[in-house]
A and B are shown apart, each in its own frame.
Chain A
Amino acid sequence: MSNLNIDSIKERSYDAIVIGSGISGGWAAKEFTEKGLKTLVLERGKDVKHIVDYPTTNKYPYEFEHRGELTLAIKKDNPVVSKCYAFREDAMHFFVKDKEHPYVQEKPFDWIRGYQVGGKSLLWARQTQRWSDLDFEGPKRDGFAVDWPIRHKDLDSWYTYVEQFAGISGNKDGLVSLPDGDFLPAFPLNAVEDYFKNTMREKYEGRHVISARCAHLSQPKQVHFDQGRGKCQNRNLCQRGCPFGGYFSSNSSTLPWAQKTGNLTLKPFSVVESVIYDEKLGKASGVRVIDTNTKEVTEYYAKVIFVNAAAINTNLILLNSISSRFPNGLGNDSGTLGKYVAFHNYSARINAEYDGLKEFSTDGRNPAGGGYIPRFRNLLKQETNFKRGYAAGFQAYRSTERDTSGMGADLKAQLLSKNLGPWQVGSHMMGETIPKESNYVKLDTEKKDAWGIPLLRISVEYDDNDAKMKKDYLEQMTEMFTEAGFKNIKADDAGQAPGLDIHEMGGARMGHDPKTSVLNKWNQLHDCKNVFVTDGACMTSTSTQNPSLTYMALTARAVDYAVLSLKKGEL
């Protein structure tokens, strides 16, 4: 081999490779680089630099051509992503457009993606709750999926670790269903949210309404200032990117932190085609990357590889990493890779009015969104005709009352009126779904994308358990709203397809047994020890909590383990 080749290979070699720069990839980058490893982060989309690349962040509503609305052409070109609540004129540049990255829906599935540095961490709803053992023990207790190989005690110190750095606002509520964390002050509930909380406490055992816990800096500490972040300014324009760094994203937090170590190489426009398996060494040696602009193929090498491409794309990469040792996808001896995909059931909402507490309204904006009702169904034991349960959001607000039936000066006076209407209250369901073999993703055997990578086929649907759970949610919320004296209750069976929850999980699940799972308790492929998966793909079950905080904790823990293993020469 010529020296030139040796040099070239050396130039393309790192200690660690992280595929993806979203919420979990950003954490892997931070942890590896802080521990002194030369780390390559590969991102398939464009670069988005904190503040610099938030083009709409300081715009007023009237500065948008259509005042925030989507044009008909955009809606027609993007039937899938247009369904997402945050895909509007101010943030649509951070979403994948349907035509750019097609996939095959064997059953309706709205796959919402953000291909850019920071991924969906720019766009997330920032809700952050820990899992309790009631969640981790779910599959074992209720007889589905496989047993989680970890419990809350395994993650406890890692949850604390990521909470302190990311900055999580919340109260120590002392609930068995939702372990407390290391919190910044909570964003308080408003008058009617508090009223509902108190009503629930009086009328029901074990039903709580708490301040939503969220990744916003309500009162930043030194570690947040050190990241260049400041106090949340209650703009609630988060999906545009925050110039204050008020909420946690890879862009505002982990990636600049990793950059400061001098150990980070970040390559945008780099889609990973596959992980390279070295048959002689019996482990992965690197990744094959396609430049999304030039389509040039380059191989990069590292001792350890973290796959954080977002749940479904992580499945795609592993399924597409074919070798004689792994003809069905890397680490897929069990045959479960791509299967047991699950999500959160967000398909029901309920709204009503409350005529009391009219001496109060709200002033400013609450970035936490309001209240959170932790799971209360089947919590300590099975008690309904469906498995598991749901958490729910709860919000109350008042808006000005305007009679727009008239015209002329009368109409104008109505439009400018500051008279407040009654309180509006609303709740949305966040249900646990049961991972099943029949809910899967797999590679299309013929169709390929613009870079020659097989298209993904997605076959995921609701089941009878989801339908029963939704019915119960609407019944229980109706009853609770009635108890609270709310009027004009309107249940809304949104009927949305899976995917729009943007909480797709699984496919490369963790488990004790290599015969029935892909990853071990350290998020390490059972069958290829130097490859780790710490994004949504690793999830054995979904619980009801928003998953991002758990991805962060799992990632920090797995990097720590990987680096220790490297030092011991075990990888």
Chain B
Amino acid sequence: MNRRLAIKQVLIFAGGMALLPSCLREEGKVSIPLKNLDISATQEKLLAEIAELIIPKTDTSGAKDLNLHLFVLKMLDDCYEPVDQQQFLAGLKTFEGHEGKGLAQLVSDANTGKSGISEEVSKFYNIMKSRTIGGYLNSKYVMSNLLIWELVPGRYNGYFRVKSA
């Protein structure tokens, strides 16, 4: 993808979340303001990797391009009970220190619900995956380019012909 477009999309997406440039924030801390969660820059980076494994860049933008991990953090911070937040962070620990193929294997195991997966990991992954998907489908990028959402449809057809499956 055109780099300028990618940057633009990131900025537009970030604008909706009041994202502050990381240079203005405490060293080693998460790059967006969070009210309840204490997240490190390393954890943020890990979440970005996990989100990218869930929705990778292909010929269209992926999770990192759209900063979906920051959306997950925003939702986790504002919309979940402390107990859920704690479980999420506890589950995240399992993935810390892993990268590349090792990380991909752990995420794949969590995704398939492989036996022996802890409750924390399962809780973490459920939130991580559902919010990554939600952030993706509700992103400006997807809604403007891939699955068009119309503000003003101006029509209704109750007998719209489609190919029957």
Q: Is there contact, CB below 8 Å, between B165 and A358? A: yes
Chain A residues near B127 (CB, 8 Å)? none
Chain A residues near B108 (CB, 8 Å)? 407
The contact of B155 among A63, A69, A363, A416, by CB within 8 Å, is A363
Q: Is there contact, CB below 8 Å, between B156 and A416? A: no
The answer for the CA separation of A190 and B160 in the assembled complex, in Å, is 9
Q: Check: A419 CB closer than 8 A to any chain B CB.
A: yes
Q: Is there contact, CB below 8 Å, between B157 and A363? A: yes
Within 8 A of B (CB), among A62-110: 62-67, 69-73
Q: Check: B103 CB closer than 8 A to any chain A CB.
A: no
Q: Check: A233 CB closer than 8 A to any chain B CB.
A: yes
Q: Is there contact, CB below 8 Å, between A190 and B159? A: yes
Q: Check: B116 CB closer than 8 A to any chain A CB.
A: no
Q: Is there contact, CB below 8 Å, between B155 and A235? A: no
The contact of A61 among B80, B111, B138, B152, by CB within 8 Å, is B138
Query: Could you show 26 A-B contacts with beta carbons less than 8 Å apart?
Result: A60-B143, A62-B139, A64-B16, A65-B16, A66-B78, A67-B138, A191-B158, A191-B159, A234-B155, A235-B151, A358-B164, A359-B164, A360-B160, A362-B158, A366-B158, A407-B107, A407-B108, A408-B53, A408-B54, A408-B56, A412-B56, A412-B58, A415-B133, A415-B136, A416-B60, A418-B147
Chain B residues near A359 (CB, 8 Å)? 161-164
The answer for the CA separation of A408 and B17 in the assembled complex, in Å, is 25
Q: Is there contact, CB below 8 Å, between B151 and A360? A: no
Chain B residues near A73 (CB, 8 Å)? 78
| Least distance between A357 CB and chain B CB atoms (Å) | 9
Chain A residues near B143 (CB, 8 Å)? 60-62
With A62-B16, A362-B156, A364-B154 as known contacts, state yes or no: A409 contacts B58, CB within 8 Å: yes
Chain B residues near A62 (CB, 8 Å)? 13, 16, 138-140, 143
Q: Check: B81 CB closer than 8 A to any chain A CB.
A: yes
Chain A residues near B80 (CB, 8 Å)? 72
Q: Is there contact, CB below 8 Å, between B154 and A362? A: no
The answer for the CA separation of A234 and B16 in the assembled complex, in Å, is 26
Q: Is there contact, CB below 8 Å, between A365 and B158? A: no
Q: Check: B1 CB closer than 8 A to any chain A CB.
A: no
Q: Check: A206 CB closer than 8 A to any chain B CB.
A: no
Q: Is there contact, CB below 8 Å, between B153 and A420? A: no
The answer for the CA separation of A394 and B138 in the assembled complex, in Å, is 28
Q: Is there contact, CB below 8 Å, between B161 and A360? A: yes
The contact of A234 among B53, B78, B156, B164, by CB within 8 Å, is B156
Across the interface, name the chain B residue whose C-beta is closest to A414.
B133
With A60-B140, A404-B133, A409-B56 as known contacts, state yes or no: A235 contacts B158, CB within 8 Å: no
Q: Is there contact, CB below 8 Å, between A69 and B75? A: yes
Chain B residues near A407 (CB, 8 Å)? 53-54, 107-108, 111, 129
Q: Is there contact, CB below 8 Å, between B16 and A364? A: no
Q: Is there contact, CB below 8 Å, between A188 and B158? A: yes
| Least distance between B84 CB and chain A CB atoms (Å) | 9
Q: Check: B146 CB closer than 8 A to any chain A CB.
A: yes
Interface size class of B (residues with CB under 8 A): 35 or more
Q: Is there contact, CB below 8 Å, between A364 and B162? A: no
Q: Check: A459 CB closer than 8 A to any chain B CB.
A: no
Q: Is there contact, CB below 8 Å, between B165 and A71? A: no
Chain B residues near A390 (CB, 8 Å)? none
Chain B residues near A569 (CB, 8 Å)? none
- Encode contact with B along A382-422: 1 for CB under 8 Å, 0 otherwise: 00000000000000000000001111110110011011100
Chain A residues near B129 (CB, 8 Å)? 404, 407
| Least distance between B102 CB and chain A CB atoms (Å) | 16
- Encode contact with B along A186-211: 1 for CB under 8 Å, 0 otherwise: 01111101100000000000000000
Q: Check: A488 CB closer than 8 A to any chain B CB.
A: no
Q: Check: A361 CB closer than 8 A to any chain B CB.
A: yes
Instruction: Point out residues on B near A: beta carbons under 8 Å.
Output: 13, 16-17, 53-56, 58, 60, 62, 74-75, 78-81, 107-108, 111, 129, 133-140, 142-143, 146-147, 149, 151-165
The answer for the CA separation of A134 and B159 in the assembled complex, in Å, is 35
Q: Check: A58 CB closer than 8 A to any chain B CB.
A: yes
| Least distance between A55 CB and chain B CB atoms (Å) | 15
Q: Is there contact, CB below 8 Å, between A364 and B54? A: no
Instruction: Point out residues on A near B: beta carbons under 8 Å.
Output: 58, 60-67, 69-73, 187-191, 193-194, 233-235, 237, 358-367, 404-409, 411-412, 415-416, 418-420
The contact of B79 among A69, A235, A358, by CB within 8 Å, is A69
Q: Is there contact, CB below 8 Å, between A72 and B56? A: no
Name 11 extra pairs, CB < 8 A, besides A364-B157, A411-B55.
A62-B13, A62-B143, A72-B81, A234-B154, A359-B161, A362-B156, A362-B157, A364-B156, A366-B158, A407-B108, A415-B137
The answer for the CA separation of A70 and B78 in the assembled complex, in Å, is 9
The answer for the CA separation of A233 and B156 in the assembled complex, in Å, is 9
| Least distance between A367 CB and chain B CB atoms (Å) | 8
Q: Is there contact, CB below 8 Å, between B158 and A193? A: yes
Q: Is there contact, CB below 8 Å, between B165 and A419? A: yes
Q: Is there contact, CB below 8 Å, between A61 and B156? A: no
Q: Is there contact, CB below 8 Å, between B16 and A420? A: no
Q: Is there contact, CB below 8 Å, between A362 and B160? A: yes
The answer for the CA separation of A406 and B53 in the assembled complex, in Å, is 11
Chain B residues near A234 (CB, 8 Å)? 152-156
The answer for the CA separation of A64 and B142 in the assembled complex, in Å, is 15
Chain A residues near B157 (CB, 8 Å)? 362-364
| Least distance between B129 CB and chain A CB atoms (Å) | 8
The answer for the CA separation of A363 and B158 in the assembled complex, in Å, is 7
Q: Is there contact, CB below 8 Å, between A66 and B75? A: yes
The 3 closest A-B pairs by CB, nearest first: A190-B158, A363-B160, A358-B164
The answer for the CA separation of A253 and B158 in the assembled complex, in Å, is 29
Chain A residues near B161 (CB, 8 Å)? 359-360
| Least distance between B110 CB and chain A CB atoms (Å) | 9
The answer for the CA separation of A8 and B158 in the assembled complex, in Å, is 60
Across the interface, name the chain A residue whose C-beta is closest to B131.
A67
Chain B residues near A363 (CB, 8 Å)? 155-157, 160
Q: Is there contact, CB below 8 Å, between B156 and A187? A: yes
Across the interface, name the chain B residue whose C-beta is closest to A194.
B158
| Least distance between B141 CB and chain A CB atoms (Å) | 9
Q: Is there contact, CB below 8 Å, between B136 and A364? A: no
Q: Is there contact, CB below 8 Å, between A416 and B158? A: no
Chain B residues near A404 (CB, 8 Å)? 129, 133
Chain A residues near B156 (CB, 8 Å)? 187-188, 234, 362-367
Across the interface, name the chain B residue whose C-beta is closest to A366.
B156
The answer for the CA separation of A58 and B157 in the assembled complex, in Å, is 23
The contact of B149 among A60, A66, A419, by CB within 8 Å, is A60
The answer for the CA separation of A194 and B80 in the assembled complex, in Å, is 42
